[in-house]
Chain A
C-alpha cells in the first residue's frame, strides 16, 4: 500500500528515540506546526510513546482557529443581508464575536438556520460550479495558509471568477507565525520543529532554512504517516545530541527544496504580503495576503464597503474563558482549559479551536489526547520499552 508504514520499523525508531533522549539529560520540547501532524500524533498515540524528557507540543497549525472573528462576522452580516456565502465545512460552525446564547447568529450555520443562503463547498472550484448553475450575488469566505491560497489565486489570476462573485480573503502565512511562536516560548525554548508538510509542498523546504540558521533549532519537514513523525522526532533528537541544528526534508515524496513554483507565482501575482490579524493574538507582521490593486474588484470587503479594523481598533476576539490563543501557540494544552469537554465539545463548540477537524481542542476531544490515546497506542502494539 502506498504510504504504508512498517510495524517493525516504528518499534525500532521508538526504541532509538528513547535511547537518544536518555543520553541527553535535558528536556526537549518539539513543536509541530500542522493540524494534520497533530492529528497523526494524537490518533496514533505517539505522545504516549515519548520518553519523559520529550514533550510534543502542537503549534499554530489550524487556519480556521486563527481566522479573526471580524471576518466571520462580516460573512454572517452579508449572508443575513441576502448575499449567498460559500465556505469550507470547517468554517461553517466557526463562531464570530457574538456571545454564546445570543439570539443573533453566532456562526454561518446559525445564519443558515435563520434563513440565510450559506453553502458548504469542498473548494472554490465547486463554489464556482454551483454559482454557474444557480447564479446569485455571492461571496466566498476564503481562509487558510499557503496550501489554500493557491486555489484563491488561481481562480483570480486565471479569470475563473464570475461577475457578482467576490472573496473575503483571510489567507495567512506560516513562517511569520513560526517566528512569533518562538518569541512566545522564549522562557522555555522550542528545541525542535516538525515543519508543516503540506505547506511545504507549496513553499518548499527552503522556507524553513531560517529556523536552524537564525534560531539554532533542528527542523524536519515530515510526512503524515506515524513513521514519518517518529523519524522526524528521532532526527531532531539526534541533531540536539550532536548540537548541530540543520534542516532535514524527510517528506521527499511530496516536498522539494523549492516547492511548487507555479503555485508560488500565482500567489505572488494575485496578492501582496501585508501585516495581518490573528484570532486571539492580534497583529502579526507580514503574515497575511491581500489582493493586489489590479484584483481589488474581487475583494468582497471593498465591494460591500466593510472596513477592516486597524491594529489600534482590533479587539480581543476570543469568547470569555476560551484559551485558544495559548493552545494555538502551544503554551497550554486543550485539557488545561476548564471548558474543555464541559462547556466546549465538538458538538457544541464554544471556542474556535474546537471547530475545525484540525483544531487542537477538536483533535484532543476526538482522540482523547491523554488516556484514550494510550489505549490506541497499545492496540496498535506501539508500546515503548
Chain B
C-alpha cells in the first residue's frame, strides 16, 4: 500500500484527478488535488492513490553528481579525510 512509486503524468482533469503511467505501462487514476500546477509529462511520486510530490528533474539528474559534491564537501571539512580519500583513490593528487 505504502510504497511510493514514481510515474509520468498523462492527463490532468479539472476535477483534480490525474492519470499517471508507471514504468510497467500501467495507467491509474489518482488524486492530484494535493499538488499545484502539475502537467502532462511531469514525473510525480504516487502513494496509495494520491500524488504526494512532484519530482524535481534537475535535482534528480544530480543524484549521482551529488556524490562528487559530497566528496568535495568531506574534503573541505576535515583534513584527515583528505588523506583518507587520497588513499582510497577517490580523489586525485
Contact = CB atoms under 8 A, between A and B. Distances in A.
Interface of A: 2-6, 9, 12-13, 15-16, 19, 35-36, 39, 62-64, 88-91, 121-126, 129, 143-145, 147-148, 150-151, 154-155, 158, 197-198, 201-202, 223-225, 227-228, 231, 234-235, 238, 242, 250, 252-255, 260, 262-263, 266, 356-358
B64 A254 contact: no
B84 to A, nearest CB: 5
B64 A260 contact: no
A147 B30 contact: no
27 contacts: A2-B55, A2-B57, A4-B63, A5-B63, A9-B64, A90-B2, A122-B28, A125-B17, A125-B30, A125-B50, A145-B2, A147-B2, A147-B48, A150-B52, A151-B50, A154-B34, A198-B4, A198-B47, A201-B45, A224-B4, A231-B70, A242-B77, A254-B55, A260-B53, A262-B35, A266-B33, A357-B3
A242 B66 CA distance: 21
A231 B52 contact: no
B52 A227 contact: no
B31 A12 contact: no
A157 to B, nearest CB: 9
A84 B70 CA distance: 52
Contacts of B62: 253
A35 B49 contact: no
Which of A63, A235, A238 lies at the interface centre, i.e. has the most chain B CB atoms within 10 A of its CB?
A: A238
A192 to B, nearest CB: 16
A125 B59 contact: no
A108 to B, nearest CB: 13
Contacts of A238: 74, 77
Interface string B50-93: 10111111011011101100110010011000001100101000
B28 to A, nearest CB: 6
A227 B31 contact: no
Given A13-B67, A201-B45, A144 B2 contact: yes
Nearest to A202: B52
